[in-house]
DNA sequence: ATGGTGGGTAGCCCA
């Protein structure tokens, strides 16, 4: 069994105590972090090592973005890709060398895309669509068993958001983004492991805005974080769950972790 | 219909 977690941590240095608590409580073999907001030399390597996470691939950036994959299982960094073609640190891939030997895990932080869902009025929206298009071309050529996980910044299904109609023009749930994500899915035949385990129309969110006094009161969540697998890995899924408890922790991230267990 | 909060960094950007 190999367990893989993903969590947009929104500053790993600020929230390292919460990461340690999550690792102590759930002990995933691999943790994929997004928005670490630091360069590799300032990444809290020692704290991870103390918890047994000796193997790390950190693609950092000062102040913004940045991803890191930490692991109890030996791994080697496999690739870092710039799907936005602008130097931002939004991807790192690793290859597992112990249990799960040969599995490739792609950790990605898709651009949020700004506020206006129009690439002319808002270049960030165009960059998000272009990022997805480059990912799609990459996915079309994948030959190895692969897990891709992270903050996709898109909630594709009506039941992935608290109010489908109200969010159709809100970036993250617009038809144009959902269509782009579908093309990425179809390019490799990706299996949405989260929805395989928590089928529609069940409630399933991974993010709640900070801009609500009580995130639970209105439950205005969205499923922005995802775990996808190559078609050949579909039968390996053993469990998948959302750790909503972290959203109540002091000074928490606005995203919560997803944990996936695979029989490999 | 609007604005609401949070993190990082250095006088706003990003989410």
Residue A206 (CA) to nucleotide B1 (C1'), in angstroms, measures: 27
Residue A121 (CA) to nucleotide B5 (C1'), in angstroms, measures: 25
* Structure confidence at residue A209 as a pLDDT band (50, 70, 90): very high
Measuring CA to CA, how many Å separate A103 from each of A30, A111, A144, A145? 12, 25, 8, 6
Residue A255 (CA) to nucleotide B5 (C1'), in angstroms, measures: 14
Q: Which nucleotide is nearest to A111 (CA to C1')?
A: B15
The pLDDT tens digits of the residues spanning A151-177 come to: 999 999 999 999 999 999 999 999 999
Q: Which nucleotide is nearest to A224 (CA to C1')?
A: B15
The reported pLDDT for the residue numbered A198 is: 98
Task: Report the C-alpha gap between A104 and A113 in whole angstroms.
Answer: 27
The two tokens of residue A120 are 């002319």
DSSP A161: B
The pLDDT tens digits of the residues spanning A3-22 come to: 999 999 999 999 999 999 99
Find the residue closest to B13 using CA and C1' atoms.
A64
* Count of structural domains, chain A: 1
Determine how many CB atoms are found less than 10 A away from the CB of residue A193. 25
pTM of the predicted structure, to 2 decimals: 0.98
**CA torsion angle for A161, A195, A55, A8 (degrees, to 10)?**
0
Extended strands (E) in A183-223: 191-192, 207-208, 221-222
Compute φ and ψ for A65, nearest 5 degrees.
Answer: 55, -145
The pLDDT tens digits of the residues spanning A229-246 come to: 999 999 999 999 999 999
Residue A153 (CA) to nucleotide B1 (C1'), in angstroms, measures: 25
Residue A23 (CA) to nucleotide B12 (C1'), in angstroms, measures: 35
Residue A228: CATH number of its domain: 3.60.10.10
Please check whether strand B approaches the CB of A37 to within 7 Å.
yes
Please check whether strand B approaches the CB of A153 to within 7 Å.
yes
Please check whether strand B approaches the CB of A10 to within 7 Å.
yes
Task: Report the C-alpha gap between A193 and A46 in whole angstroms.
Answer: 32
Determine how many CB atoms are found less than 10 A away from the CB of residue A88. 18
The reported pLDDT for the residue numbered A192 is: 98
The two tokens of residue A229 are 């697998």
The pLDDT mean for chain A works out to: 97
The reported pLDDT for the residue numbered A61 is: 97
The radius of gyration of chain A from alpha carbons, rounded to an integer in Å, stands at: 17
Q: What range defines the domain where residue A76 resides?
A: 2-262
| Cis status of the peptide bond prior to A201, with omega within 30 of 0 | yes
Average pLDDT over residues A55-80: 98
Alpha carbon A28 to chain centroid, angstroms: 15
Determine how many CB atoms are found less than 10 A away from the CB of residue A141. 8
- Pairing of β A55-59 and β A67-71: antiparallel
Find the residue closest to B9 using CA and C1' atoms.
A63
């Amino acid at each position: 069994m190999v367990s893989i977690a993903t969590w947009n941590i929104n500053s790993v240095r600020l929230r390292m105590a919460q990461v340690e608590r999550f690792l102590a409580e759930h002990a995933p073999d691999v943790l994929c972090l997004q928005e670490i907001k630091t360069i590799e030399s300032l990444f809290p390597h020692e704290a991870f090592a103390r918890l047994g996470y000796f193997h790390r691939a950190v693609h950092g950036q000062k102040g913004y973005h940045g991803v890191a994959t930490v692991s109890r299982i030996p791994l080697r960094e496999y690739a870092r890709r710039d799907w936005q073609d602008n130097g931002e640190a939004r991807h790192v891939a690793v290859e597992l060398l112990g249990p799960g030997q040969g599995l490739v895990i792609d950790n990605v932080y898709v651009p949020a895309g700004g506020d206006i869902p129009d690439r002319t009025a808002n270049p960030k929206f165009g960059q998000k669509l272009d990022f997805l298009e480059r990912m799609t071309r990459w996915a079309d050529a994948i030959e190895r068993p692969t897990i891709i996980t992270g903050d996709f910044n898109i909630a594709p299904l009506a039941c992935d958001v608290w109010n489908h109609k109200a969010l159709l023009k809100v970036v993250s749930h617009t038809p144009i983004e959902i269509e782009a994500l579908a093309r990425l899915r179809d390019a490799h035949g990706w299996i949405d492991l989260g929805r395989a385990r928590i089928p529609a129309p069940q409630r399933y969110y991974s993010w709640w805005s900070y801009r609500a006094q009580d995130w639970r009161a209105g439950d205005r969540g969205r499923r922005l974080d995802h775990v996808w697998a190559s078609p050949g890995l579909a039968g390996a899924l053993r469990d998948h769950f959302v750790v909503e408890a972290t959203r109540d922790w002091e000074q928490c991230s606005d995203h919560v972790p997803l944990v996936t267990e695979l029989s490999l």
